[in-house]
Chain A
Amino acid sequence: MKRILFMLTAMAVLVGPVGCSSESRNVTMHKPGIYKGAKDPVLALKNQQELIDRLKLVQSDR
């Protein structure tokens, strides 16, 4: 009985830390609705007027 208990504890101690290794363990904990990708250096705000002028220049019914 004591031996079985000792073996079980030893296995638990030996096998347990398998889960502790950090390699390929980055699981995405899904928080829905929040973008997970790379950051986009967006210029849209800066050249808004430029784009409006372009639209009137190229696409209007001249």
Chain B
Amino acid sequence: MKVSGAALGSGALIGLLPLSCMRQATTEEKRNFPRPDLQTEYRRTICTHCSVGCGIIAELQNGVWVGQEPDYESPFNLGGHCAKGAAARSHGFGHRRVKYPMKLVNGAWTRLSWDQAINEIGDKLLKIRQESGPDALFFCGSSKASNEGAYLQGKFAAFWGTNNVDNQARICHSTTVDGVANTWGYGAMTNSYNDMRNSKAMLFLGSNAAEAHPVAMLQILRAKEGGSKMIVVDPRFTRTAAHADIYARIRSGTDIPFIYGLLWHIFKNGWEDKDYIARRVYAMDDIRKEVEKWPPEEVENVSGIPKDKVYEIAMTMAKNRPSTIVWCMGVTQHHIASHTVRLFCILQLALGNIGMSGGGANIFRGHDNVQGATDVGPNCHTLSCYYGLAEGSWKHWAEVWGVDYEWIKSRFDMSRQYDAGGGKMAYTMNIPGIPVSRWIDGVMEDKNNLSQKDNIRAVFFQGHACNSQTRGVHMKQALEKLDMLVISDPHPTHMAVMSDRKNDTYLLPTATQYETYGTATASNRALQWREKIIEPLYESLPDHTILYKLAKKLGFEKEMFKNIKVTNDEPLIEDVLREINRGAWTIGYTGQSPERLKLHAQHRGTFDPLTLKAEGGPCKGDYYGLPWPCWGKPEMKHPGTPILYDPSKPVAEGGLVFRAAWGADYNGASLLAADGVYSKGSEIKTGYPEFTSDILKKLGWWDELTPDEKKAAEGKNWKTDLSGGIQRVVIKHGCAPFGNGRARCNVWTYPDPIPLHREPLYTPRFDLVKKYPTYPDRKAYWRLPTRYQSIQSVNHSAKYPLIFTSGRLVEYEGGGEEERSDPWLAKLRPEMFAEVNPKDAADAGIFNGQYIWLEGAEGGRIKVRALITKRVGPGTVFTPFHFGGWFQGKDLYDKYPEDTAPYVRGEACNTATTYGYDSVTQMQETKATLCRISPA
């Protein structure tokens, strides 16, 4: 009795311990798991992270997302994912989401209803419009919206009356799009990820595909297995470089000298494709002249790459053709990048690699739909589909939208004209708007220096993070000056917490692409259809519904949604895509109807993973996703253009030639293709200009149009003929609607007609600034004064000796709020860090894992952990850019609305980045700036 009594007593004691000592139950409550008794439904969508466009299969039970299966039928990813795609199911949890509309009232987040929010926001916008004109609103759209959502974002801004609308493409590949388009016609990836398997050599410059486009590595490593030589040139020894055959470390911002260095060896050894250049290229001799200025010693001096390494790379690219090149942010985020990318194109033209399988300029786009947003969506410098902002473009789209041109004009500030750059005067309707890289200057700059009526007073960000833009310290000031800030996003984002705003700040819960449906364009220009996986969580609404509600409040919803059916405030996505189809003749977004795309999604398994062509089945003859240009109306059933500028196929089967976009000749030399250069089956066997109704009449093809087509096409050209008759007839005769021209090496309208090296504004090599200076400051450039020389003329490297660059991690993407709020991804990267070379660490007295202060050249400071590694060379510091939720050392957890702070927060590296903008597109110079580090 006594023995058992003692045992009983001790048991009772343990039971009396206070509950606070006990941790959570061991078997954590499992979330949304599959049950055997319920029926499982499968739906397919496309991952919302990067532009590879991996297929995702979601398992649903009673509308709950309970599992994921590999989409092995998808020709793009064959079932594979990276960590982000594999974590897609967590979007169905929504624990850290913005759950209902909220606004700041004296610094506290207060809940309100949708109607209240829309009414308040609408009232304020109308008031600001009345006082300061429509240009006082900066409306930022998104590369994460679907094509339909992005298109409506751009349309919304047009109907509101401003060009101050933009998206992530500005800070991603805006330089690529402009520079490459100005070289040969379209500024997009010429081939595809899959086609890289056909290459014999691959050069990656400023691209960390293993972390930024992991599933693309499937194609790249298989290419390597097939014998393709992999060359990586990067300031860091990245995960991609770890798989390379040849690696070269380059100084940030010296890409132009490096390519000239390659061209030096190519021309010296006669490795260039002389025949190709003679027949298809204009002004290569201008390049030859510039190459003379870049002997191997100078290339090594400026870029830091040893002479023999440059030779080895040149030889590998030349002797292993077709060779392909890949570039990403490492190249595009500089103030001369529009010119750099042209030089890359010129390199490939010299080698004769464009327009063939295995070659090409394979530009890896960033976000899942940045290609689509660039093409059809919100851009401050053009209307949808690169039509531009001239009167003709507005008239074209007014016709497509079904509204009166004069009415649209009346929506804009027509009170006076402003400086459109170089002293030319124009109305704001025809001047490019303030881009997302510069919106803070639109707020802070003296309004007399702006090419619009007043400063930006209200900012509406739908689907764009702010911690990916430079100059965080100035951004905080700009945010505090604004009259109103609206954030329409699934998460609060860094923007909601980084400033000390107390009022007039709204959070609108927006649905992710998993909670709606539509199309997205992958980097290889293919469109994919997304199905809706789950209903919008909590009170969130999709982008297009929010836009409709706002348009209704602001009074133009009838005009904006004239041809789009709206049910319960939600516009019909299929109708939006059809409207795009009706107007997108420049780039051939006309043939990708909802029906064709849905059929492709259903039968994706019938497409060959190498050629991306369906050899049989219901989609026979098509290329997967109908990559644009998919000419003509959907009834014409064009199969899409898998490889741009490839003359080996008829245009009707996906072939193409270079665009004749700049006239027939310049400076006495022809801009049209030489005799004997034409796409297969073309009836015109020489170069020809772009097609207009007049040219068709001259050729005697005009009568092949139907009477209806003739009526619509009279006096129009291949871009503005809404009937599609011109394109149809031209393609029937085997010709390309946009002409048959030469790719040009000299862009006479650019600041530098031939690419020239200019040192970054914040350069560690002040000694080179004299020889390679930047541009003079500009007065009215995209409505803003923009500085160049006044920054570079000061030697910042004395105080800030280290190059500060940034980039991606595989676990996170973009601003990172979405992934850092995901339990499975957050646990993989719990802290913000900076990679520091052992030499620099020793100089600064820093040991591994220690907190350090990283101070940028304009004074912004961030507190991060030091990761000592040889991955970066001495003299360079690298940070990821995905973190947010801290500001200059302080964790902003308390400023988040309840239950919305991401699990992982950290310093946004762009708090410490600096001024610097591309001379053609206003791209920010993120990749090459300066900093110094010290122990915290």
Contact = CB atoms under 8 A, between A and B. Distances in A.
Asked if chains A and B are in direct contact (CB within 8 A), the reply is: yes
Q: Is the interface of A mostly helix, strand, loop or mixed?
A: helix
Interface in B68-85: 70, 72, 78-79
Interface string B881-898: 000000000000000000
Interface residues of A, number: 5
B615 to A, nearest CB: 14
A61 B197 CA distance: 12
A61 B222 contact: yes
Interface in B53-112: 70, 72, 78-79
A57 interface: yes
Contacts of B79: 58-59
Interface of A: 57-59, 61-62
B609 interface: yes
A62 B78 CA distance: 8
Interface of B: 70, 72, 78-79, 222, 609
A57 B222 contact: no
A25 B838 CA distance: 63
8 contacts: A57-B72, A58-B70, A58-B72, A58-B79, A59-B79, A61-B222, A62-B78, A62-B609
Contacts of B222: 61
A57 B78 CA distance: 10
A44 to B, nearest CB: 19
Given A57-B72, A58-B72, 6 more contacts: A58-B70, A58-B79, A59-B79, A61-B222, A62-B78, A62-B609
Contacts of B70: 58
B1 to A, nearest CB: 10
A61 B609 CA distance: 10
Query: Which of A58, A59, A61: most chain B Cβ within 10 A?
Result: A58
A59 to B, nearest CB: 8
Contacts of A58: 70, 72, 79
A4 to B, nearest CB: 23
Contacts of A62: 78, 609
Contacts of A59: 79
Nearest to A60: B78
A57 B222 CA distance: 18
A9 B389 CA distance: 112
B224 to A, nearest CB: 13
B10 to A, nearest CB: 15
A57 B79 CA distance: 10
Nearest to A58: B72
B797 to A, nearest CB: 49
A31 to B, nearest CB: 29
Contacts of A57: 72
B781 to A, nearest CB: 50
A48 to B, nearest CB: 20
A57 B605 CA distance: 11
A62 B222 CA distance: 11
Contacts of B609: 62
A48 B78 CA distance: 23
B607 to A, nearest CB: 11
Contacts of B78: 62
A59 B72 CA distance: 8
A62 B72 CA distance: 10
B227 to A, nearest CB: 15
B610 to A, nearest CB: 9
A57 to B, nearest CB: 6
Nearest to B608: A62
Nearest to A61: B222
A62 B608 CA distance: 9
A62 B79 CA distance: 11
A62 B76 CA distance: 11
A11 B311 CA distance: 100
A59 B609 CA distance: 14
A59 B80 CA distance: 9
Contacts of A61: 222
A46 B609 CA distance: 33
Nearest to B222: A61
Contacts of B72: 57-58
A60 B222 CA distance: 12
Nearest to B78: A62
B341 to A, nearest CB: 33
A62 to B, nearest CB: 5
A58 to B, nearest CB: 4
A58 B79 CA distance: 7
